[in-house]
């Protein structure tokens, strides 16, 4: 069974919960009863959070490998934010968005007017699962296979870009003059 929401361990001295939300498992927006499914999904998420979270907690939103058609719309996100109990919003210490796309960043930027500044300050973007491992203990985090593949492909593409940039930098540097030419240049100046 695919879990889009799971408790993946604890962090800090107070053993605060780490909740992982895998967006790749969300329903496709073209499916029948999409609105009904998303509304019930939200109620499930909130009721699960209320049961799982007694104190401070962190949410890791795995966005990698999620096609845009599976990402919730702005109006849905707005309603969710407004319906979440103040205590849940207050106890959220960090919302980590792994593999943020231009689309998700834009959605959050557009959402600024109806989301508190305190909440926006809790959002942190990370670009690789290795970055995530520096923030939270990964031994209990369930990462979907498609997200692992996405992460590996992204790292591979980044390394390839860096290698190409290094090659371009090397090829654009002026060539060294042969030592015999440097000796000739020095003689002309002295005489």
Domain ranges of the chain: 5-190
pLDDT in tens, the chain (191 residues): 345 667 666 677 666 888 888 989 999 999 999 989 988 888 888 888 888 777 888 889 999 999 989 888 777 777 777 888 888 888 889 999 999 999 889 888 888 887 888 989 999 999 999 999 999 888 888 899 999 999 999 999 999 999 998 888 877 766 665 555 555 555 544 44
In this prediction the pTM is: 0.79
CATH, range 5-190: 3.40.525.10
> CA-CA distance, 7 to 58, in Å (whole number)?
10
Degrees to nearest 5, angle at CA 111 with 158 and 129: 30
């Amino acid at each position: 069974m695919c879990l889009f929401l799971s408790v993946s361990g604890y962090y800090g001295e107070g053993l605060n919960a780490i909740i992982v939300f895998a967006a790749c498992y969300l329903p496709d927006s073209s499916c029948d009863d999409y609105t009904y499914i998303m509304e019930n999904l939200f109620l499930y998420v909130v009721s699960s959070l209320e049961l799982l979270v007694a104190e401070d907690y962190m949410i890791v939103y795995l966005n990698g490998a999620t096609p845009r058609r599976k990402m919730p719309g702005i109006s849905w996100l707005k309603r969710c934010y407004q319906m979440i109990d103040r205590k849940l919003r207050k106890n959220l210490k960090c919302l980590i968005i792994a593999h943020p796309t231009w689309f998700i960043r834009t959605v959050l930027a557009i959402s600024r007017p109806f989301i508190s500044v305190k909440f926006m300050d809790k959002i942190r973007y990370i670009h690789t699962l290795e970055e995530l491992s520096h923030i939270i203990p990964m031994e209990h985090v369930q990462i979907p296979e498609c997200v692992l593949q996405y992460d590996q492909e992204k790292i591979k593409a980044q390394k390839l870009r860096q290698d190409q940039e290094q090659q371009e930098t090397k090829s654009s540097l002026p060539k060294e003059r042969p030592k015999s030419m440097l000796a000739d240049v020095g003689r002309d100046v002295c005489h």
